[in-house]
Amino acid sequence: MNYFEDLNTKLVGLVGSKEGAISPTITSSASFAYGTPETAEGIFDGSVKKPLYSRMGNPTTAKLESIIAEIEGGVGAIATSSGMGATSLVCMSLLSSGDEIISIGGLFGGTYALFSETLSRFGIKTHFFDVDELEAIKSAVNEKTKIIFLESVGNPNMRLPDIKAIADIANESEIALVVDNTATPLSLSALKMGADIVVYSTTKLISGNASALGGCAVFRAIENEYDKFKTPRYSDIHKFIKGAGAMALIANGKKRALRDFGMSANAHASYQTMLGLETLALRVERITKSVEIVAKELKSHGLKVNHPSLASHPHYERYMSDFIRGCGPLLTIDFGSKEAAFSFLRNTKLATLTANIGDSRTLALHMASTIYRDFDNPTREFLGITEGLVRVSIGLESPHDIVSDFLAASKAE
């Protein structure tokens, strides 16, 4: 069966129940009564599988986690209060002072600031690379490297990584590969392509309607035999491997990050995220087709569009071979100047101006004056932020309506 068709069948079945309430139950309780001291003891030592306290896990959130883990092919997942919460969870549960991150491609502004400004204050250094600097990436690996971090699609530079080649480097050097797959849920199976951990901002495509902030980290199982997490580099995790076996990365993430930092998801957001998840395959398939149509049409009318589906894009071949289900909802248009970009944004009747992406509605934003306003010029250049750059996230509207609105808005004064 067609890949997305199959997922449409699967997702509605996973979210709805066949008995009783069909829609997932919202368990809006911060704490849970244990009943007996024996049960309390069992819950705390892990032998009784009941909720302990909502910072460590909530039944509504657990349902969301199990669906995302299943769809992604992971052993388990941890939902968080936001996408940055998911990236923080992974960093805080794997890294110690003195460790290093190799960050490739992108990069989402919040992640860039976390790595360059915040984690650096805790003694964690990040080396930043473009997706194609494979030799430099290999040479940057050293005994302190703990994470290779990769964004599935450069946002907003639209560059595509060679994920298999980067996964090979991570495996050969026995380093955890973390992929931020926010822009490409379902389209790209990062765990299957060699990632160890996948992070999402579920705020974006997975919810899809701006109703809930959320994030999720999905983990692969620890292998029985050889596993990179059993090497001395990850000695902090060894006690979790002893206690939780295949589920060690979940246990480590829950204890070292959810319990100690508290970036936990809340039940209401998890519920709303599941409502979005139910229609995710339907939306992703439509949106990724529309992006290609809009990119091609706008380009043929002379707009400076950046999208890998265009033959002029440096990663066009990679798009055609490794991204056969598209690369998410984004494209960018360079209007050449801030004035021209602002004129377009004032005149579009269809796009909603906001910093979000992956919504049902088409969204647009001028990059240099908003998300990247605090970044200096060399950093903007590295991230591909030019003065006239507008990022567009294509929604569910007719692609032909989007094209005519954008053409009219780009011509208006």
Ligand X SMILES: *Cc1c(COP(=O)(O)O)cnc(C)c1O
List interacting residues with ligand X (CB under 6 A): 82-84, 108, 110-111, 151, 155, 180, 182-183, 201, 203-204, 213, 215, 357
**Residue 73: CA atoms inside 13 Å, Cβ hemisphere, count?**
12
Shortest reach from residue 340's CB to ligand X, in Å: 25
Q: Which is nearer to ligand X, 108 or 129 (CB)?
A: 108
Q: Would you tell me the crossing angle of helices 280-300 and 399-411 to the nearest 10 degrees?
A: 40
Instruction: Work out how close the CB of 107 gets to ligand X at its nearest, in angstroms, rounded to a whole number.
Output: 8
Single-letter amino acid code for the residue at 79: A
**Closest distance of CB 203 from ligand X, Å:** 4
Rounded to 10°, the helix 267-277/3-15 angle is: 140
Nearer to ligand X, 84 or 178 (CB): 84
Q: Which is nearer to ligand X, 204 or 220 (CB)?
A: 204
Q: Return d(Cα 267, Cα 252) in angstroms, integer.
A: 22
Residue with smaller CB distance to ligand X, 194 or 215? 215
Q: Nearest approach, Cβ of 305 to ligand X (angstroms)?
A: 20
The residues, ordered by sequence, that sit 6+ positions from 226 with a Cβ below 8 Å of its Cβ are none
Element (H, E) at 320: helix 316-322
Beta carbon nearer to ligand X, 74 or 215: 215
Residue nearest to ligand X (CB): 83
What is the token pair recorded at 250?
Answer: 């979940």
Burial per residue of 270-297, b for 16 or more beta-carbon CB atoms within 10 angstroms, e otherwise:
bbbbbbbbbbbbbbbbebbebbbbbbbb
| Alpha-carbon span 155 to 282, nearest angstrom | 23
Taking alpha carbons only, the member of 166, 169, 171, 168 closest to residue 180 is 166
Output the smallest distance, CB 22 to ligand X, in A.
27
Beta carbon nearer to ligand X, 332 or 410 = 332
Pick the closer one to ligand X by CB: 151 or 196.
151
Comparing CB distances to ligand X, the nearer of 62 and 206 is 206
204 vs 299, beta carbon nearer ligand X? 204
State the minimum distance, in angstroms, from the CB of residue 84 to ligand X: 4
Distance CA 267, CA 26 (A): 6
Please give the Cα distance from 309 to 291 (Å, whole number). 9
Minimum CB separation of residue 111 from ligand X in Å reads 6
Residues 147-157 as b/e (b if ≥16 CB within 10 A, e otherwise) read: bbbbbbbbbbb
Smallest distance, Å, CB 208 to ligand X? 13
Amino acid at 177: L
Exposure on the CB side of residue 129, measured as CA atoms within 13 A? 21
- Considering the complex, what minimum distance in angstroms separates the CB of residue 95 from ligand X? 18
